[in-house]
A and B are shown apart, each in its own frame.
Chain A
Amino acid sequence: MLTLAGFGGLALVACAVAPLVGSTPIDVRRVFDRSVPFADNVHAQIFFLARLPRVLAAALVGCALALSGVVFQALLRNPLASPDTLGVSAGASLGAMLAIALNADVRLAGVPAVPLASFAGSLGALAIVYALASARRRGSSTTVLLLAGVAITALLSAVVRFVQFVADSNQTLQSTRWLMGSLDVGSYPPLVAALVPTAAAAAAMATLPRMLDLVSVGTESAAARGVNVERAERVALISASLATGAAVSLAGPVAFVGIVVPHLVRLIVGAHHRLVLPAAGLFGAAFLVLCDLLARTLMAPVEFPVGVVTAVIGGPFFLWLLFRRR
């Protein structure tokens, strides 16, 4: 419990401090100064229109990716599994690429075309994965599902590259940048839209810890202990995919968070999912908020992709943790 409170505190502090720091110095008193109209208060505008949605997006995406990483690693019984493994991420990318290349300009409740198409793409990929998971004969190993995921990812990525190739140069620039991930969401509606599926997924995952503990050891022993393995797998697959789709459609693929944060957290709190799940969600949020803070300030005013920071910081740190306790 104390550990969880620690992770919660870390996430809160990160979310509270990050909006105050950035490439432009802002004055907190002037941010909340009501005597100046909002339209004239640049400090308040930078805080509320630029930084706050961005920090919240980072927290949401970090949390969603870390949670789905935990669930996929347990479900597939593979430490290398990540939110990208089953092709949901590639489906989201394909959706976004199509929206960019076709210059789609639809809008739903304030959410622009690219995140909409991206989320639709992730649902499409989930449908394929789900159909394959149901079709797989009882008792066959999760390796089959894993390999199917690799094949789907390869296929969808090939289509992504084809779409990029036929698009014109400006669209190719846009799509290449989309594939590097960005948390500068620019407004609140996409954030709210991503929060809904993520919250639903997190609620579903809250029912899973015990089953994940047993399933990650082996489906036979789980079944022997009275777990409805098939149902648990279904809930796990859908909730983790939804969270991934929401995260990727909001920010694009952000490398590394989904695979490494779960491991980092397990090294600290142990293997029980009752602890690992909430701790990973909180730590994922804090981690991505801090990485994005670095991405937007280190070379200011030029920003670089947050995925670069997550990998550069997370990689060596993870290696150190891994080899420290041999």
Chain B
Amino acid sequence: MNGPHGVRPRRHLPTVLLVVGATGLAVVLMQGWIPSKETAPQTPSPAGPQTQPTRIVSFVPAVTEMLFAMGAGDRVVGVSSYDRFPEAVRRLPAVGGLIDPNVERVLSLRPDLVIVYGTQRELRGQLDRAGINQFQYVHRDLADVTHTIRAVGALLQWHTAADRLASDIEHQLELVRQRVAGRRRPRTLVVFGRETGSLRRIHASGGYGFLHDLIQLAGGEDVLGDVRRESVELSAESVLSRGPEVIVELRYGQPLSFDAIEELRREWSALPGVPAVRNGRVNVMVGDEFVVPGPRVVLAAERLWTRLHR
């Protein structure tokens, strides 16, 4: 067994390792892709509550807003660190956010329902072990706003109010949709982030998700409609070649002064050939309703409509 034969197995080692590694990776990736029961969106835990939840902790600002809008705000005992609306949430204990949930604080609030993101696997496991019911929220498109309201309402045994809220939102959105029916749809780019002071690393809404749906509903034609992603990083070249007729730049978190807004608009003049820039149709809109897909989508849709069809 000496000589070349003795060496051969060792030669194969790298290949074997590579194959094993690649297979392992493929298995892991496939598990992520195949939707399992565990990640099915918006389903309460199998052991659904027999009684109405009365102490709710919400990690999802959009759902917090829904709870308050359907009149169940008094049952909310804790919110995420990113909750700002309605005003009442500022007095509630903050329990962390999507990536840094504070489990201890959640448990100390003795909730009987926690609204979590589907991706918070660690937190979900801990809540499971503590026997606390969960509602998994998944952020997708505009129709999910009212779906979620109804699902949460059902879970709270608060159907009537939830259904009234959802129908009302659907009705208001439909009114906006009717207003723009038959009108020419300007090609619209919605930007939600870029490097301060320059047109670099422009993050825009792609052809999927709640912002995309809002653009279409408010009578715009999403210039990135063909890119099936929720967020797209745009190069200067893409902005030029897609030539949007209206640019809407969203800002949220803090109010902006008139001068700051004018400065933001002026920065787009670095790309003078873009129709929106040439025709003065670069808009800066400030407000959290554009990034929180909750009941305020109606407000977002109406504000967007005013900029697309004055």
Give complex CA distance A65, B241 in Å.
31
A24 nearest in chain B by CB position: B241
B193 nearest in chain A by CB position: A170
B228 nearest in chain A by CB position: A302
Other-chain residue from B192, B198, B232, B241 in contact with A186 (beta carbon distance below 8 A): B198
B267 nearest in chain A by CB position: A112
Give complex CA distance A186, B237 in Å.
9
- Residues in A whose Cβ lies below 8 Å from that of B238: 23-24, 301
Across the interface, do B272 and A39 meet the contact criterion of CB distance under 8 Å? yes
- Residues in B whose Cβ lies below 8 Å from that of A99: 196
Across the interface, do B198 and A24 meet the contact criterion of CB distance under 8 Å? no
Across the interface, do A23 and B273 meet the contact criterion of CB distance under 8 Å? no
- Residues in B whose Cβ lies below 8 Å from that of A182: 200-201
B contacts with A: majority SS: loop
Across the interface, do B200 and A42 meet the contact criterion of CB distance under 8 Å? no
Across the interface, do B235 and A112 meet the contact criterion of CB distance under 8 Å? no
Q: Does B85 contact A (CB under 8 A)?
A: no
* B65 CB, nearest partner CB in chain A, Å: 17
Q: Does A144 contact B (CB under 8 A)?
A: no
Across the interface, do B200 and A184 meet the contact criterion of CB distance under 8 Å? yes
Interface residues of B in 203-241 (CB under 8 A from A): 203, 224, 227, 229, 232-233, 235-238, 240-241
Mask of B234-274 contacts with A, CB within 8 angstroms, 1/0: 01111011110000000011000000000100000011110
Across the interface, do A23 and B236 meet the contact criterion of CB distance under 8 Å? no
Q: Does B87 contact A (CB under 8 A)?
A: no
- Residues in A whose Cβ lies below 8 Å from that of B196: 99-100, 103-105, 112-114
Q: Does A177 contact B (CB under 8 A)?
A: yes
Give complex CA distance A50, B273 in Å.
12
Across the interface, do B240 and A114 meet the contact criterion of CB distance under 8 Å? no
Given contacts A51-B237, A168-B253, A174-B201, contact A186 B273 (CB under 8 A): no
- Residues in A whose Cβ lies below 8 Å from that of B242: 301
Give complex CA distance A8, B195 in Å.
34
* B61 CB, nearest partner CB in chain A, Å: 11
Q: Does B197 contact A (CB under 8 A)?
A: yes
Q: Does A46 contact B (CB under 8 A)?
A: yes
Q: Does A195 contact B (CB under 8 A)?
A: no
Q: Does A157 contact B (CB under 8 A)?
A: no
- Residues in B whose Cβ lies below 8 Å from that of A113: 196-197
Give complex CA distance A168, B251 in Å.
12
- Residues in A whose Cβ lies below 8 Å from that of B194: 174
Give complex CA distance A54, B272 in Å.
18
Q: Does B82 contact A (CB under 8 A)?
A: yes
Give complex CA distance A192, B300 in Å.
41
Across the interface, do A46 and B253 meet the contact criterion of CB distance under 8 Å? no
Give complex CA distance A104, B243 in Å.
29
B231 nearest in chain A by CB position: A173
Other-chain residue from A50, A103, A104, A178 in contact with B240 (beta carbon distance below 8 A): A50
Q: Does A41 contact B (CB under 8 A)?
A: yes
B263 nearest in chain A by CB position: A105
* A117 CB, nearest partner CB in chain B, Å: 10
Across the interface, do A46 and B199 meet the contact criterion of CB distance under 8 Å? no
Across the interface, do B232 and A301 meet the contact criterion of CB distance under 8 Å? yes
* B211 CB, nearest partner CB in chain A, Å: 13
Most-contacted residue by chain A among B197, B242, B243, B278 (CB, 10 A): B197
Given contacts A170-B192, A184-B200, contact A303 B235 (CB under 8 A): yes
Mask of A18-47 contacts with B, CB within 8 angstroms, 1/0: 000011100000000000001111100110
* B277 CB, nearest partner CB in chain A, Å: 10
Besides the known contacts A24-B241, A174-B194, A302-B229, 6 further A-B residue pairs in the complex with CB atoms under 8 A apart: A103-B196, A168-B253, A174-B201, A178-B195, A186-B236, A187-B270
Across the A-B interface, the 4 shortest Cβ-Cβ residue pairs:
A112-B197, A50-B237, A24-B241, A50-B236
Q: List 7 A-B contacts (CB under 8 A).
A: A24-B238, A112-B195, A112-B197, A112-B198, A184-B237, A186-B200, A302-B227
